[in-house]
Amino acid sequence: MEKDCNNASVEVMSNKQVIYREKVRGSLKETNLKVKTSLERPKADKDSGTIAVKNLYLACEPYNLHLIKYFTRLGSPVPGYGVARVLESGHPNFKKGDLVWGMTRWEEYSLITAPETCFKIEHTDVPLSYYTGLLGMPGLTAYAGFFEVCSPKKGDNVFISVASGAVGQLVGQFAKLFGCYVVGSTGSKERVDLLKNKFGFDDAFNFKEELDLDAALKRCFPKGIDIYFENFGGKMLDAVLLNMKFHGRITVCGMVSQYNLERHEGIHNLINLVLKRVRMEGFVESDYYHIYPKFLEMVLPQIKEGKIVPVEDIVEGLENSPAALVGVFSGRNVGKQMVVVSRE
Amino acid sequence: MEKDCNNASVEVMSNKQVIYREKVRGSLKETNLKVKTSLERPKADKDSGTIAVKNLYLACEPYNLHLIKYFTRLGSPVPGYGVARVLESGHPNFKKGDLVWGMTRWEEYSLITAPETCFKIEHTDVPLSYYTGLLGMPGLTAYAGFFEVCSPKKGDNVFISVASGAVGQLVGQFAKLFGCYVVGSTGSKERVDLLKNKFGFDDAFNFKEELDLDAALKRCFPKGIDIYFENFGGKMLDAVLLNMKFHGRITVCGMVSQYNLERHEGIHNLINLVLKRVRMEGFVESDYYHIYPKFLEMVLPQIKEGKIVPVEDIVEGLENSPAALVGVFSGRNVGKQMVVVSRE
């Protein structure tokens, strides 16, 4: 609220936004994005099937770049997952004041045109920011990817790349709780420590310090890998293919090392899919929305008992989000990167 | 039989063999192999668990090169599948006179040290040579690969590379009988005609005449591919990855275009596994030996009714087998390449 010249209260209807300004070529740069303030806020008309929300927390992750590159027009706000408060509802399932998580945009206020894809937040006895991570898309991704796609068995040797990322750290913790041997790769000494000491991985290595990824994997898995949870792509995938066990599974969640490249690196060792009878399968968490309640039922008690530990890297303010997103690709963050838009 | 100086009959115990002479570098050349005559024939001692056989027909296929490169010592005869007659048995499951098919070597007489992996031929009312193709490893490969790995549904769009090869021609015929739309790629006009007119494929193209494989696939599959039966690898796989439908399946049987390369070509489009939630799975027919009786039960009546048609390319004599194998990689053969060692 500000005061007008007559000292009456008027609401300034501004809306700070992070806009996709300039086509991404090669790596994402801060200049591809622009923070600007619009003087309009979205409205959700009655029976429009839409909801107008105030964004509170935004996930800041490689998936944002994927969405930018493939699904965002220049001049539009960056899309991504977030936690928001409903301000106006034109949809029968939502009412003013509801908390939701789902696909929104990087701005203070958003109009969500397909709120059916959002989840209402019922459990508020955990930090709301968790719904951008552990209890949101990364959590469901880790759960569905590991339990529904990897076909895990107790005692399996599990390797996870980008292991300290939002999804990787959870896959590792789920796999440990399930009784697997778990090793992760990540990009700094600090993160290696996090994996081993905070997330309970059996082993971890800094891929930037390994001259020979094949040798690193052979050191960690002398008997080979049963499950590879693929977040990285490129040379790591090629090295993993040389180290898979018979009937191993590679679950492809993403290939973050490749998103900044005009053309993805070539993978040369796919013949190992035949030699080792390996199944490699891509998946997207949105195919698993129906198991979200089952997931919450498993994970909420584990959070409360301290068995699952999220680590968040929190940035305050939309204006700092472009740098935070660029930082995700250079490995600046430790744990799940998240942007606070408003603490209400 | 020859006569000795006393005019008595003596058996000349020679054994013509095709030896792996020189390490394959780059493409297979005839000079990598050598035909020689040994003066010894193998014996199967009583209770040795082995059988001594006379080889009758040998499969001549890309898999032989795979076996040569990865599993054959210099100086040893080339391994491969074949049909043979048991001459001596030291194994309780076999007796003199039995016909078998399984892993043998490119020579007139072989000692099979693991005859458990051979199948006894019970049905001799079809040509014996079929057991190197339709009723042998390629048949079981096509059957297991299509029905057990591809998860086919009626109406699926199926694409097969190396479609006129021993396996491809059968996958196509199985898929057509199952009610799929089937397109094959192959390497000559003659073979395209074979696919369309003899094997009943819905469409086929000569990949050597397509400047843009992606465009060729889009022309044949405007709505995309549900199942890709991968025999080729390299650029074809990369183009297919751009054309898969959501939840498509890629069954990797082999990558024949790559076996002659020191380093396999890079595959750049694997991110489509995620974008389209595609499953890519390698398999080896030896994991499916247990379904061989079920396979025979299906396929024998279809052969007799003329619903499944094998096309064989027959070469006479072991001495011509090195050229025949080189020819398989240059696309010389039409249909399943096979070598007759002896018609008994």
Residue A291 domain flag: no
What pLDDT is attached to residue A7? 54
**Residue A65, amino acid:** L
At residue B12 the predicted structure's pLDDT band, cuts being 50, 70 and 90, is: low
Check whether B174 has a pLDDT greater than 60: yes
CB contact under 8 A, B255 and A276: no
Residues B125 and B150 in one domain: no
What pLDDT is attached to residue B170? 95
Query: What secondary structure, in 3-state letters, does A183-216 show?
Result: EEEECCHHHHHHHHHHCCCCEEEEHHHCCCHHHH
At residue A186 the predicted structure's pLDDT band, cuts being 50, 70 and 90, is: very high
CB contact under 8 A, A281 and B284: no
- The whole-angstrom separation of Cα A53 and Cα A44 is 9
Q: What is the pLDDT of residues A231-265, one digit of tens each?
A: 999 999 999 999 999 999 999 999 988 887 889 99
Residue whose token pair is 């509170």: A56
Strands A109-112 and A99-105, bridge-based pairing:
unpaired
Chain A hits for B264, CB-CB cut-off 8 Å, are 268-271
Residue A98 domain flag: yes
Q: What is the pLDDT of residues B204-215, one digit of tens each?
A: 999 999 999 999
What pLDDT is attached to residue A2? 47
Mean pLDDT of chain A: 94
For chain A, what is the domain count?
A: 2
Q: How many other CB atoms are there within 10 angstroms of residue A87's CB atom?
A: 18
Residue B298 domain flag: no
Angle CA B245–A295–A249, to nearest 5: 50
Residues A168 and A228 in one domain: yes
Residues B257 and B174 in one domain: yes
**Average pLDDT of span B253-280:** 93
Residues B147 and B234 in one domain: yes
Angle CA B203–A273–B118, to nearest 5: 85
Residues A117 and A243 in one domain: no
CB contact under 8 A, A233 and B279: no
Q: What is the pLDDT of residues A57-69, one digit of tens each?
A: 999 998 899 899 9
- Distance, in angstroms, between B274 CA and closest chain A CA? 4
Mean pLDDT of chain B: 94
Mutate to test the interface with A, among B70, B252, B276 (most CBs of A within 10 A): B252
CB hemisphere CA count around B172 (13 angstroms)? 31
Residues A89 and A180 in one domain: no
| Closest partner CB to A273 (pick from B265, B274, B282) | B282
Residues A148 and A169 in one domain: yes
Residues A145 and A277 in one domain: yes
Residues B279 and B159 in one domain: yes
CB contact under 8 A, A279 and B284: no
Residue whose token pair is 């998860």: B151
Residue A172 DSSP class = H
Q: What DSSP line would sit under B187-235, residue for residue?
A: SSHHHHHIIIIIS--SEEEEGGG-S-HHHHHHHH-TT-EEEEEESS-HH
What pLDDT is attached to residue A1? 45
Using a CB cutoff of 8 Å and minimum separation of 24, what contacts does B311-314 make?
Answer: B311/B164, B311/B169, B311/B194, B311/B198, B311/B199, B311/B335, B311/B336, B312/B129, B312/B133, B312/B336, B312/B337, B312/B338, B313/B337, B313/B338, B314/B129, B314/B338, B314/B339, B314/B340
What pLDDT is attached to residue A12? 66
- The whole-angstrom separation of Cα A61 and Cα A279 is 27
At residue B1 the predicted structure's pLDDT band, cuts being 50, 70 and 90, is: very low
Cβ contacts below 8 Å, chain A against chain B, sum to: 91
E strand or H helix at A153: none
Residues A277 and A328 in one domain: no
- Distance, in angstroms, between B240 CA and closest chain A CA? 15
Q: How many other CB atoms are there within 10 angstroms of residue A31's CB atom?
A: 10
Residue B104 domain flag: yes
Chain A hits for B263, CB-CB cut-off 8 Å, are 268
**Average pLDDT of span B108-115:** 97
Residue B164 domain flag: yes
A interface toward B at CB cutoff 8 Å? 233, 237, 252-255, 258, 263-284, 287
Check whether B7 has a pLDDT greater than 70: no
Evaluate whether A251 touches A145 at the Cβ level (below 8 Å).
Answer: yes
Residues A144 and A266 in one domain: yes
Residue A314 domain flag: yes
Find the domain containing A49 and state its range: 2-133+310-340
Indicate which CATH number applies to the domain containing B75.
3.90.180.10
Q: Which residue of B has its CA nearest to A258?
A: B271
Residue A105 domain flag: yes
Q: How many other CB atoms are there within 10 angstroms of residue A273's CB atom?
A: 24
Evaluate whether A37 touches A14 at the Cβ level (below 8 Å).
Answer: yes
Q: Which residue of B has its CA nearest to A266?
A: B266
Residue B302 domain flag: no
B3 vs B196, residue with greater confidence: B196
Chain A hits for B253, CB-CB cut-off 8 Å, are 274
Where would I find the beta strands (DSSP E) of chain B? 2-3, 9-10, 15-20, 33-38, 51-59, 79-89, 99-105, 109-112, 119-120, 157-160, 181-186, 203-206, 225-230, 244-252, 279-282, 312-316, 336-340
Evaluate whether A268 touches A275 at the Cβ level (below 8 Å).
Answer: no
Residues B80 and B141 in one domain: no
At residue A8 the predicted structure's pLDDT band, cuts being 50, 70 and 90, is: low
Indicate which CATH number applies to the domain containing B178.
3.40.50.720
What pLDDT is attached to residue A166? 86
Q: Which residue of A has its CA nearest to B279?
A: A281
